[in-house]
Structure 1
Amino acid sequence: EYTAGFFPIIFFIFVLRSFLFEPFRIPSGSMMPTLETGDMILVNKYTYGLRIPVLNTKILDVGEPQRGDVVVFKYPPNPDIDYIKRVVGLPGDKISYINKKLEVNGVPVPLKDDGTYFDEHKMQELIQSEEKLGETTHKILTDKYTPSGAYALPTHTDPKACEYVPGGLVCTVPKDKYFVLGDNRDNSEDSRYWGFVPEKNLVGKAFMVWLNVSKPSRIGFFD
């Protein structure tokens, strides 16, 4: 009877994590300044449709990722690993990232200076800028000492969809796939290197920091 009393609670947690919300911990600085190492985040799992747990088969189409969304997904070269990045390119988009300048379908993405950011872990000062993707305005970081450029890893999902040029690359996003970047642009392994995120790999949209033990002030919603 004692064990049976816990069943409704266990079932509720299972449903909550499988279909609605799931917590994740940020393990690296690739999404600074939006997300920092140690942030515990919540991911909305039904934003992009309800899926059957384990099989990851979509059973209800609710919405699609938009430019600027911060998404958690299964890393294409190894689906056992969860990654988090920001959606930059939608299916069919032409993405250009050359000399640290981003263009979507031939239009430069609005960017303005926003001072500097001090990376406490690497003990270095980075350039902070404000970027606008779609309806989302957020901050990104670049390192003036890191040279421009990108290259394709052997595990690249669609090497023929990208052209690597001096200082960066130009890609056309394949059908049912997404181009993603980290906000910490010079410290992120993302679509510039391993390719695109298939729609089936999406886990959900990240939307808030619910805990950071060392920095409680970081708790709250983010873009």
Structure 2
Amino acid sequence: MVITIKKSLLTLSVVAGFLGFTGVAASASTYTVKSGDTLAEIAAKHNSSVDTLVKQNKIADKNLIMVGQKLEIGKSAKKTTAKKVNKKHFKTSTSIKKGSAHAAVVTSQSGSDNSTNDATSSATTTPAAFQSQGVIYQDGKKWTYYTGAAFADGTTNHGGYDADGYLIVAAPSNVPFGTHVQTPLGEGVVHDRGTAIVGNHYDLVMP
């Protein structure tokens, strides 16, 4: 009987040990850069951000990645916890056209995104430089700018930003409203459309 008890205790110890490891998450996954990839597109596919990938992989120039380059995606954690992923928080590269007109529908909208990110922290140029050039190409995309007071999804202009503090972007119809995009002036959110905004051409409201 004593031997049986010892074996039982040993079995329980082993089982407890295995159970203790069920909460441990695997380390960051690795992504291999393919031809035509951009850092913004990779971030969008993995629910991450350009800035996160830049810091995690110590990338000197976020506009320059090499085919075959290994990128760490995600972070290791001691415990796996269920996180609610907001699919609106994608960072992609887009483009815009100077002086383009956009039809706007004025409706009320309550913002559900309470992010405290600084939209201008990832800017690659200044509004003055952008206005001087008129068109900027970033990550193989064409960017232009325009002005407006209200936009296709009902968003109103708060000095060039939406109610959550993000730059306002007009995107092609295949890009959903609410999608986060990386613009030359920092992080923006898609709130508008435009007849000229197709393909790789996006439009940014100038602050």
TM-score by length of 2: 0.23
Flag the structure with higher helix content. Answer: 2
TM-score, with structure 1 as normaliser? 0.22
Larger Rg: 2
| Structure with higher strand content | 1
